[in-house]
Amino acid sequence: MTTENNDIIQISGKAIIAIIIFVLLLVSTFGMFLLKSSPNNTGSVAAQSDIVSGDILEKCKLPAGQDVNSWKEHLGHHEDTKECLKYFK
C-alpha cells in the first residue's frame, strides 16, 4: 500500500488580494511606459503646445484637443488653408 504525500499551499484571502493589487500595479506601470514611448503618439500635448504657441496665423493654429495629423488633413482639404501646411512639417 502506497501513500502519496500531497503538498498543499494555503494562501489567505488577504494575501490573494495583495497579490492581485501588486500585479495590477505592475501591469499599469508597464502600460504607461509602453504608451509613452509609442511611435504613434503624434497628438501629444508637447507637440500641440509647440505648434499652437508659434507665430502661426490664427486660422492655422491647432485647436485644443485636435490630433496633429487629422488637423493637417483638414487643412489640406480647403484651398484657403493649404498655406497653413508649411507650419506642420
Give the model confidence (pLDDT) of 63-72 as tens digits: 888 888 888 8
Residue 53 lies in a domain: yes
- The rounded distance, in Å, linking the Cα atoms of 9 and 16 is 12
Angle at 70 between CA 72 and CA 60, to 5 degrees: 40
Residue with cell 494575501: 15
Residue 81 lies in a domain: yes
pLDDT tier, 81 (very low <50, low <70, confident <90, very high otherwise): confident
Residue 8 lies in a domain: no
Residue 73 lies in a domain: yes
Task: Give the predicted TM-score (pTM) of the model.
Answer: 0.38
Residue 12 lies in a domain: no
Residue 82 lies in a domain: yes
Number of structural domains in the chain: 1
Query: Residue 68 belongs to what domain range?
Result: 45-87
Quick one: pLDDT at residue 37? 63
Over residues 17-38, the pLDDT tens digits come to 999 999 999 999 888 877 776 5
Mapping DSSP to helix (H, G, I), strand (E, B) and coil, where does residue 45 land? helix
Q: Which three cell numbers stand for residue 70?
A: 487629422
Name which of 73, 74, 70, 78 is nearest 48 in CA terms.
70
